[in-house]
Structure 1
Amino acid sequence: MNPFTTLAARACPLPLANVDTDQLVPARFLKRSRATGYGGFLLHDLRFGADGQAKSVLPLDDPRYKGAQILVARRNFGGGSSREGAVYALADFGIRCIIAPSFGDIFSSNCVMNGLLPARVKESDAEALLAHLEQFAGAAINVDLEAQRIVCGNRVYDFSIDSFFKTKLLNGWDDVDVTLSFSEEMQAFQSRDAAERPWARPIRADRGD
């Protein structure tokens, strides 16, 4: 996974609250192979009718926001079930950062596991960002994870993120990488434990036991 340090990219407003994981990617698409990408399933039932025709133009489909890598939404984004496919849909659509006042807990974890930044801002700041992006369609936002700062237009906003999530994103670590970062400590424990409790070690022929 690539480290996430800073991102300067076009941002897209999604002025909706309580967008749950079933809306982000309907369950019927979860059996599809990810090899062909989940991006086309993102918010499918809000964007398309049963006949597959576009039924409304969400900002995601507005040409002015084409190529956006940052999504700004309202509170409780990604609530609901713990389907990782919701994050796949966002990632495969090209989104690398979601800015909102709050997120589903498991959704946040899944974002970080896939290299996406869930940046929590005050509700008033989310509304200010949405208003700016609607007024200046196609505007870019600068996100600095180390400083936990967002720059949009002539305003600066702070955001919060779990410190463990921040460490994983800055280093590009998944859970295996986190475990391996403690390799020296684990080796030291194994050596100490072998000396203090030799009777607890398994019998192994290659050790002459």
Structure 2
Amino acid sequence: MTPMDRRTLEDSIKLFDADFMLCTGQTECFPSTNTFRSEWQLKKEGNYWGESALTVDTAIMDDAGNILPQGGVGEIVWRGPGVMEMYLKNESATKDSKAFAWHHSGDLGYFDDDGLLVFVDRKKDMIKTGGENVPSIKVERVILNHPAVEAVAVVGLPHEKWIEAITAFVVPVKGSDLTEDAILSLCRENLGGFEIPKKVVMVGDLPKTTTGKLEKYKIRQSYATLYEKV
């Protein structure tokens, strides 16, 4: 789950005159796994998931099954009575999800100095570019701060030099005159040089599931040859 970007959160608080609380979970973990309370919403900058729910333990694990200390980035894992027993008729997926006796979320994160969980990115969506790891979510949050951006998806596409080139697919607000230069200028002000997209592609819509989740794999498939030399 991707937390609400700051611009949308601030606008919503003003519009509805209400406090917002984020609850995070997966179909495999009932009813929820983490809560980011309203009192933290505008004090903490980032993709916060917050505290563990009473029904689960939350930890950060490396690929070897070691629980990482505070601040260490690794896979978010859970355990507790609300975690599923198995995937129906899929022993392989069940075994992978339960490695080292914890449920594996497929998400990367870390605990901050206050013990609150921060979401970094989906493991499969982390962009490896020029020897650096760049969370796609970090770039998306910056771009979403532009008032003329309706939606955005950032992916890594095959590139001869960079291995993966950071590429932003942006849906402009209807009737706006949003340009690639405007997006890149915003990114230069808020991101490191290696985190800035190599291209910004304007699109009319983004592929989503029936529940509204971005299907980034479809974007990667459709634009796999974008950086191939002509």
TM-score (norm 2): 0.25
Higher strand share: 2
* Structure with bigger RCO (C-alpha 8 Å, 6+ apart): 1
Higher helix share: 1
TM-score (norm 1): 0.27
